[in-house]
Amino acid sequence: MIAAAALAGLAACASTPPTLPAGPDYRQALLRPCANAGDWSPWLLVDAWHDGEVDRPATQFREDGVMVYAYGGTTYDNGKWLLVGGSLRFDTNDHDADDDGVFDSEPGSGTMKNSEGDTGKWTLERACDGWGQPS
């Protein structure tokens, strides 16, 4: 009887998958709003294309997975983003540009490629209350 109970206990342990400790939740840092409610964008995304073009869209990552960004006087809400652990992936305009990189606090950084095959690098800096704004 004791042997049967011990065997059943071992079988239960063997069938239970190990649990891994939860990693840091970097989503909260990415989603944190600005203290100044007038600042809709907590991030400055700097896109440096290999052809020399540099874009600096103000950017907001919404909890629903939508990325809002603004440049050239127009605001767009057609970006999508996903953060798993410290790996950040986002795209704009239905994959017109795809970006992959690292965000484990700030700044974030990575590489990008657009639908025409152009490539470049990006950085992501906190921009609340004027910090990180282009001069």
Tokens of 83: 């953060």
Kindly tell me if the per-residue pLDDT of 3 is higher than 80. no
Q: Is the pTM of this model over 0.85?
A: no
Asked if residue 96 belongs to a domain, the reply is yes
Which of 95, 101, 124, 99 minimizes the C-alpha distance to 30?
A: 124
User: What is the model's pLDDT at position 7?
Assistant: 41
Total Cβ atoms within 10 A of residue 123: 16
Asked if residue 37 belongs to a domain, the reply is yes
Asked if residue 19 belongs to a domain, the reply is no
CATH number at residue 92: 2.40.128
User: What is the model's pLDDT at position 129?
Assistant: 63
Q: Model confidence over 63-112: pLDDT tens digits?
A: 999 999 998 899 999 999 999 889 999 999 989 999 999 998 788 999 99
Dist CA 29 CA 37 (whole Å): 17
Dist CA 62 CA 69 (whole Å): 11
User: What is the model's pLDDT at position 135?
Assistant: 36
Q: Model confidence over 7-55: pLDDT tens digits?
A: 444 444 444 555 545 567 788 888 888 887 677 888 999 999 999 999 9
Total domains, the chain: 1
Asked if residue 112 belongs to a domain, the reply is yes
Asked if residue 10 belongs to a domain, the reply is no
